[in-house]
Chains A and B, each alone.
Chain A
Amino acid sequence: MDDQFLYDFREDPSPEFADKVRRKLSDQAAPESSRSPIWRKPAAVALSVAAVFLMALSFPAVRAVAQQFLDLFRVQRFVAISADPDRLKQIARIASEGFDLKSLLSRSVKVVKEPGQLQLVDSVAAAEQLTGLTIQLPATLPSEVVQEQMLVGGEGALEFTADTALLQEVLDALDLRDVLVPQPLNGAVVKVRMPPRVITNYRRAGMARATLLQAASPEISLPQGVHLPEIVEIALRILGMSLDEARQYAYSIDWHGTLLVPVPADVASFREVEVGTSQGLLIELNGQRKRDSSGRVRPEEGSMVLWSDGGKVYSLSGTINKRDLLQMASAIP
């Protein structure tokens, strides 16, 4: 009797059984909650608020006055900031009290194009045909890591008219009384295009996994007249920065093509890394012990690398150790 002898008794469940359970689950399918689960986690709440905020409003500085729209915003690099845990709790609390954070900027959002559900594909060629992307995958994989599956998501597009009164409500709820909302923002029509994306899942023996997402940069256009650092300053205040810090930071960076990634200070750390010839961002969960949904207290572990290269944005995340994640990222041509 050896290890292999013990392993050899494993069997695949019968297809009939697999189908039976699948049907049972399908029969129990309930409508999706109107509140996405991401809003139930303080960190995710803050991340999403800030991400929506900045994705919607990070755009090139005013240059072409004669243009109806500014140059399209495209992500060229990622910048992380630490988000204040207390502020995240505050945001979570007002969200739990029924404040509709998803309507932060506008109640009149028009979905121009639905991205649809993720679709499983069986080859790179199929994914490229569906998305129009030239897909890049790691030329080599770390030991025992194998590619599992590939999924594609369709293009999405929407537009909305900014409503500063809503933003003011959020600021009031957070007791941020010294933040001024720029009035030129009110009534601005924001157009967002989300290009198709490709998700590739990897797995190492056991439960360690990694997910590579690649897509062309999202594009956001917005009428002239709004001074971008003012908007960034508001976002930084929402994330817990003091007035002086927020102002200094907002005016120290050229936000043209820069996506701000808030990282909850109590659960993760970040640093800049080199990914091939690009500059990337490595975010690591710090293993803080948290009670999961089954009631057990466990460390939250995992890493994520974000970078942009050749007009595309990449995210590689998972529980495969950070060294191997970086190796995979750097092996993408």
Chain B
Amino acid sequence: MNAHAPVLKWLVSLSSPTREADWEALYRQELPRIYNFFRYRIGDDVLAEDLTSITFEKAWRARHQHRRDLAAFSTWLFAIARNVAIDHFRRRRVEFPIDELNEAPAPGDLEGETLRRLQFRRLSRLLAELPDRERELLALKYGSGLTNREIAGLTGVSESNIGTIFYRTLRRLRALWDEGGSQHG
């Protein structure tokens, strides 16, 4: 170990907006957000786990190249996740048969978790019908909990444009959902 390291670490943490990242803390904070980004983006829990794992492995391998403040780390991690999703779709385009889109669960016979899972499955199928950009934006907002401003910073789409896209997309989603006879919403 270089003998200056303790001084440098202390000084950097004191005199710069960066600090040595506490990887464990970052991991605990960001894992659910990245995981849910993929769940909403892909619609498959198992695949979401795989892609989340790939994202963190990529980040881990490149962590020394990155400025270590927390906010920048999140942005960087989401950039990796978005690229991982793009790679995934290049390899495998998921398509659902049209007739399944209108296959609503039978909520009268279902309760709790089972109903929720079926609803999410159905929602995922509807999301899969959206253009990639719209689905990604929805995944960032509803899956990862990012604000419109944060999504704008991440994607390069203006904040006002994002608001408009959400308005139109949600209107379309509602219509599709209602066509399927949902009992919710």
Q: B32 touching A213 by the CB < 8 A rule? A: no
What are the residues of chain A within 8 A of B29 when measuring CB–CB? 148, 203
Q: Identify which of A175-183, A234-242, A288-296 touches chain B.
A: A288-296
Q: B12 touching A109 by the CB < 8 A rule? A: no
Q: A292 touching B10 by the CB < 8 A rule? A: no
What are the residues of chain A within 8 A of B156 when measuring CB–CB? 296
Interface flag for B165 (CB, 8 Å): no
Known: A1-B185, A102-B2, A205-B147. A37 touches B15 (CB 8 A): no
Q: Which one of A9, A11, A48, A211 contacts B12 once the chains associate, using CB atoms below 8 Å?
A: A48
Q: Which one of A13, A41, A102, A211 contacts B49 once the chains associate, using CB atoms below 8 Å?
A: A13
What are the residues of chain A within 8 A of B76 when measuring CB–CB? 292-294
Q: B31 touching A7 by the CB < 8 A rule? A: no
Q: B15 touching A306 by the CB < 8 A rule? A: yes
What are the residues of chain A within 8 A of B159 when measuring CB–CB? none
- The closest CB in chain A to the CB of B6 belongs to A156
Q: B22 touching A151 by the CB < 8 A rule? A: yes
- The closest CB in chain A to the CB of B68 belongs to A37
Q: B116 touching A13 by the CB < 8 A rule? A: no
Interface flag for B102 (CB, 8 Å): no
Q: B14 touching A317 by the CB < 8 A rule? A: no
CB distance from B123 to the nearest CB of A (A): 7
CB distance from A162 to the nearest CB of B (A): 13
What are the residues of chain A within 8 A of B23 when measuring CB–CB? 25
Interface flag for B158 (CB, 8 Å): no
B residues 126-168 near A (Cβ < 8 Å) are 138, 142-143, 145-147, 149-150, 153, 156
CB distance from A163 to the nearest CB of B (A): 13
CA distance A218 to B13 in the complex (A): 13
Interface flag for A258 (CB, 8 Å): no
Q: Which one of A12, A33, A302 contacts B71 once the chains associate, using CB atoms below 8 Å?
A: A302
Q: Number of residues in B with C-beta < 8 Å to the partner?
A: 78
CA distance A114 to B174 in the complex (A): 59
Q: A120 touching B71 by the CB < 8 A rule? A: no
Interface flag for B64 (CB, 8 Å): yes
Q: A6 touching B142 by the CB < 8 A rule? A: yes
CB distance from A150 to the nearest CB of B (A): 10
Known: A11-B36, A206-B146, A292-B79. A118 touches B15 (CB 8 A): no
Q: Which one of A5, A22, A294 contacts B184 once the chains associate, using CB atoms below 8 Å?
A: A5
Q: Which one of B10, B39, B70, B138 contacts A115 once the chains associate, using CB atoms below 8 Å?
A: B10
What are the residues of chain B within 8 A of A5 when measuring CB–CB? 184-185
Q: B14 touching A298 by the CB < 8 A rule? A: no
Indicate with 1 or 0, residue by residue over B1-39, a CB within 8 angstroms of chain A CB atoms.
111111111111111111110111101010110011001
Interface flag for A167 (CB, 8 Å): no
CA distance A147 to B106 in the complex (A): 43
- The closest CB in chain A to the CB of B16 belongs to A47
Interface flag for B83 (CB, 8 Å): yes
Indicate with 1 or 0, residue by residue over B64-75, a CB within 8 angstroms of chain A CB atoms.
111111111011
What are the residues of chain B within 8 A of A298 when measuring CB–CB? 75, 153
CA distance A271 to B31 in the complex (A): 37
Q: B116 touching A9 by the CB < 8 A rule? A: yes
Interface flag for A209 (CB, 8 Å): yes
Q: A194 touching B184 by the CB < 8 A rule? A: no
Known: A158-B6, A261-B15. A292 touches B174 (CB 8 A): no
Q: B5 touching A1 by the CB < 8 A rule? A: no
- The closest CB in chain B to the CB of A21 belongs to B53
Interface flag for A192 (CB, 8 Å): yes
Known: A205-B147, A315-B14. A302 touches B79 (CB 8 A): no
Q: Which 5 A-B pairs have the closest CB atoms?
A: A1-B185, A109-B3, A319-B71, A294-B79, A317-B17
Mind listing 27 A-B residue pairs with CB under 8 Å? A1-B174, A9-B40, A10-B36, A10-B143, A13-B31, A21-B57, A22-B27, A36-B9, A37-B65, A37-B67, A51-B15, A52-B4, A109-B4, A110-B3, A115-B9, A115-B10, A120-B25, A148-B25, A153-B10, A158-B7, A208-B150, A213-B19, A292-B79, A306-B14, A306-B15, A318-B69, A318-B70
Which residue numbers of B lie inside 8 Å of A, CB to CB? 1-20, 22-25, 27, 29, 31-32, 35-36, 39-40, 45, 49, 52-53, 56-57, 60-62, 64-72, 74-76, 79-80, 83, 116, 119-120, 123, 138, 142-143, 145-147, 149-150, 153, 156, 170, 173-174, 177-178, 182, 184-185
Q: A51-B11, A318-B71 are in contact. List 8 more A-B contacts (CB 8 A).
A: A5-B184, A10-B145, A13-B32, A52-B7, A102-B8, A114-B6, A207-B146, A211-B19
